Amino acid sequence: MKDPRTDGRRLGERLRARDLTAAPAALNLVESRADTARSETEALLATVSPAALGGEAPARIVGVTGPPGVGKSTLLSGLLAAWRRRGESVALLAVDPSSRRSGGSLLGDRARIDRDPSDASVFIRSTAAGDRLGGLAPATRAAVAALSAAFDVVVIETVGVGQSETEVAEVADTVAVVIQPGSGDVLQFLKAGIMEVPDVLVVNKADLGAVADRAMADLRAALRSLGARNTSVIAVSSVPPPRGIDALVEALDQHHASLALPARRADARRMHALADFAAEHGDAGMRALGGRRAAERWLAEQDGLRDAATLRRELERRAGRAARAPGGPGEP
């Protein structure tokens, strides 16, 4: 008899039943490196797939990213309180840089987020980014897919450096990028060429006055230069009395309501499959698929309801056939 703590199908069924107490075991499974963990994680993902659920998972998936020290944890404390006042359950995954020694989470962002420890409708987990500075931890995509079946809101928080902005955009329904006025963040943000990523721009520490107003004006000017985009720019401040959180919650809600959600989620599952394949098989695997663009074209033709694990297995079969073909990568 399987251990219920590592039985992927059973954990998936509990999450589908909105049993929030299954969240810790589900996260332990998707992060595990045990020999059986991969097959059980695949069973978990299949059990919470759109095909099994009869549609997309109920959670709103929100990505929050921004430079270190910008105040994301304080902002998330305010958002968490606002969502709980509405009676919504919240899962928060804080993706931290990894310790080179242990491989574990280095910053432990969950310790800085205000919450009621007795509130069973809130689940917060720090997860290490591995060797992807600023990017998503290898198991984060699977964790989001699992938790989305049970919670009303799933939040991914990352340090806004490296690949985090684009990777979060591949996973989240709505991406909020947080910047701090007067620190050079606005200028660096504009230079980075990632203005297409955020769905909501958040200027934190708006109590700074004129410098915050200038940051807001710069961001709005940059958005106008890109043409018509439905991107909100919201100013928030945690200095008493706090302000802006309700406006930010409304902006997140409005963006989510405007989405063609099945298409966005289908793209997220395809990118999940490709990211997992690339992490495991590297450049040689991608060459066997004909390169990343060829793999993306093939994925775009697949049924949007298929879960990421199934799509990854299909990529592996395609790569294997290509490697065995005459003149393929596997030929001498």
Residue 151 covered by a domain: yes
Contact 165, 141 (CB under 8 A): no
> Same domain for 82 and 135?
yes
- The β-bridge partners of 156 are 63, 93
Same domain? For 145 and 195 the reply is yes
Name the nearest CA neighbour of 123 among 145, 85, 152.
Answer: 152
Q: 211: exposed, middle or buried (C-beta count within 10 Å: 0-12, 13-18, 19+)?
A: middle
63 within domain boundaries: yes
Question: How far is residue 97's CA from residue 137's CA, in Å, rounded to a whole number?
Answer: 9
CA R_g for the chain: 20
Same domain, yes or no: 231 and 266: no
Question: What would the mean pLDDT of 199-214 be, rounded to a whole number?
Answer: 88
What percentage of the chain has pLDDT greater than the value 70? 83
What is the C-alpha separation between 330 and 91, in angstroms, rounded? 44
Query: Which of 238, 258, 278 is the last residue in one of the domains?
Result: 258
pLDDT band, residue 14 (cuts 50/70/90): very high
pLDDT of residue 130: 54
| Contact (Cβ atoms closer than 8 angstroms) between residue 132 and residue 168 | no
Domain assignment present for residue 46? The answer is no
Q: What is the CATH number of the domain that holds 252?
A: 3.40.50.300
25/124 Cα distance (integer angstroms) = 13
Model pLDDT, residue 182: 74
**Are residues 72 and 97 both part of a single domain?**
yes
The per-residue pLDDT of the chain, averaged, comes to: 84
**Is residue 238 in a domain?**
yes
Domain range holding 311? 262-324
Sign of the dihedral through C-alpha 75, 76, 81, 84 = positive
Domain boundary at 258, 274, 289, which? 258
Q: Phi-psi region for residue 222, left (φ > 0), alpha (ψ -120 to 50) or beta?
A: alpha
Per-residue model confidence (pLDDT) at position 100: 36
Of 258, 284, 309, the residue at which a domain comes to its end is 258
- Contact partners, residue 232, CB within 8 Å, separation at least 6: 199, 200, 201, 251, 254, 255
Q: Does the N-terminal peptide bond of residue 241 adopt cis geometry, omega within 30 degrees of 0?
A: yes
Same domain, 183 and 228: yes
Q: What does the pLDDT read at residue 215?
A: 86
The number of beta carbons lying within 10 Å of the beta carbon of residue 217 is: 12
Q: Which residue has the higher pLDDT, 228 or 159?
A: 159
Could you tell me if residue 150 is inside a domain?
yes
pTM: 0.88
Residue 137 clears pLDDT 80, i.e. is over it: no
pLDDT digits (tens, 9 = 90+) for 61-92: 999 988 878 888 889 999 999 999 999 999 99
Which of 113, 128, 104, 107 has the alpha carbon at shortest distance from 71? 113
Q: How many residues does the chain have?
A: 332
Given a cut of 50, is residue 24 above it in pLDDT? yes
Distance CA 103, CA 315 (A): 28
C-alpha to C-alpha distances, 58 to 82, 172, 199, 254, nearest whole angstrom: 19, 13, 20, 16
Q: What is the mean pLDDT of residues 245-249?
A: 96
Q: Which residue is it, tokens 């998503």?
A: 136
Under 8 Å between Cβ of 124 and 131: no
- Residue 97: its pLDDT value, please? 60
Q: Compare 38 and 192 and report the one with higher pLDDT.
A: 38
Number of domains in the chain: 2
Q: Cα(244)–Cα(267) distance, rounded to whole angstroms?
A: 31
**Helical ranges in the chain per DSSP H:** 8-16, 23-31, 37-47, 50-53, 72-85, 140-147, 164-171, 185-191, 210-225, 245-257, 261-288, 292-300, 308-324
